[in-house]
Amino acid sequence: MPGFELFGTEERKEVNDVLETGILMRYGFDGPRKGIWKAQELEKAITEVFGCKYAHLTSSGTAALTTAMAALNIGAGDEVIMPSFTFVASFEAVLSVGAVPVLVNVDETLTLSPAAVKAAITPKTKCVMPVHMCGSMADLDALKTICTEHNLILLEDACQSIGGTYKGKALGTIGHAGTFSFDFVKTITCGEGGVVMTNSEDVWTKCDGYTDHGHDHKGVDRGADLHPFIGYNFRISELHAAVGLAQIRKLDTFLSLQRKNNKALRAYLETIPEVSFRKVPDEAGDSCSFLSWFLPSEELTKAVIAEMKEQGILAGNFYWYANNWHYISKWDHLKNATTLNRLSDVQQQALLKLKDTSFAASDAVMSRCISTAISLLWTEEQIKEKGEKMVAAIKKVLTSATVHA
């Protein structure tokens, strides 16, 4: 799954280009940098590879989400509908711009349920933010229709699905804006980094200024730049961009390996009738960074997790339902509105309501789901060994459950 698995001479070459100039910042120092502009080069490559008109790099995927929301004029009191299964950065970004995260149920796509989105819309709703979790996509046709009907912004959090597509278009390029994360365990890594992608010049211009203290970047003298609006420091460094530049050139290789290894491992699990698989709205567009599968009940799923742990084969298998970072049931700090800075009254009230909000539909999905991370480095022999051991563990649990039924 992560690009760091195939880190090599290409990344070192790009980083050394920067180190030889000594100019680590993406702006200014035109002479000493000797024509080395890695961030600009990576942004251009992103537009070409993923098919968007504009791309602006940030210091992280979280910063990319915050930047995109600011550029889309999402702010104080605006409601952003998002899934109950995501990474904590999604709601952190919403809170950072003063907006209100409205968490709703997911379905067996492991992403936003369109029906749940419809039911959550209020006069304060400003944005729908699908999170394309674990390499695959939300039902974007349904979500686009909802957004059009209600005049809402569609912001794609595609941080976990780099290289995935929906009906021929790259995830992250379909809404008003979209984001990737380039952190250490993503399909393409910069070490740390992110990007906002958009087809709107206005959104891109605002992102460009917002991430650099509001600089308009229109002059040749950085110190003389005007500041049309207040911004923050979410800049990526040239070193991080250099790593990403080497990585993006390997993306086709990464995706090919993911898809091959995913298919090979899935073939083992498909031999068990009780195992079903995640619903993928566009099978051809799955980046295949994870193989997500279901067992018939929460009890059986927990038993399989316990058995794999007992056998020492749990590594790389994620039970999100009990995961501290990815599912609503474990986000006590969110539901208790535990922050260092004071939230607005509207934000605090909305978060405290989450403690009494039922996510039964999500629980029914996530409590039965296991996601297996797909390595780029697996050999055929390793996949065979992994598949056979997983199948044996699952069958042992299922047999035991039948005996005791």
Tens of pLDDT, residue by residue over 137-149, are 999 999 999 999 9
Please give the pLDDT value at position 401: 83
177 within 8 A of 198, measured Cβ to Cβ: yes
Please give the pLDDT value at position 223: 86
Tens of pLDDT, residue by residue over 363-387, are 999 999 999 999 999 999 999 999 9
Given 3.90.650.10, 3.30.70.60, 3.40.640.10, 3.40.50.1220, which CATH number is that of 3-251? 3.40.640.10
pTM value is 0.96
Contacts of 372 (CB under 8 A, 6+ apart): 265, 290, 291, 292, 293, 316, 317, 318, 390
70 within 8 A of 50, measured Cβ to Cβ: no
As beta bridge partners, residue 179 has 157, 196
290 within 8 A of 119, measured Cβ to Cβ: no
Angle 234-239-243 (CA atoms, 0-180°, nearest 5)?
A: 105
The architecture of the domain spanning 253-403 is Alpha-Beta Complex (3.90)
Sign of the alpha-carbon dihedral angle for 257, 262, 366, 110 = positive
Q: Which of 66, 91, 81, 155 lies closest to 328, judged by CA?
A: 91
Please give the pLDDT value at position 405: 63
- Residue spans per domain, the chain: 3-251, 253-403
Please give the pLDDT value at position 144: 98
| pLDDT, tens digit only, all 405 positions of the chain | 889 999 999 999 999 999 999 999 999 999 999 999 999 999 999 999 999 999 999 999 999 999 999 999 999 999 999 999 999 999 999 999 999 999 999 999 999 999 999 999 999 999 999 999 999 999 999 999 999 999 999 999 999 999 999 999 999 999 999 999 999 999 999 999 999 999 999 999 999 999 999 999 998 888 889 999 999 999 999 999 999 999 999 999 999 999 999 999 999 999 999 999 999 999 999 999 999 999 999 999 999 999 999 999 999 999 999 999 999 999 999 999 999 999 999 999 999 999 999 999 999 999 999 999 999 999 999 999 999 999 999 999 999 988 776
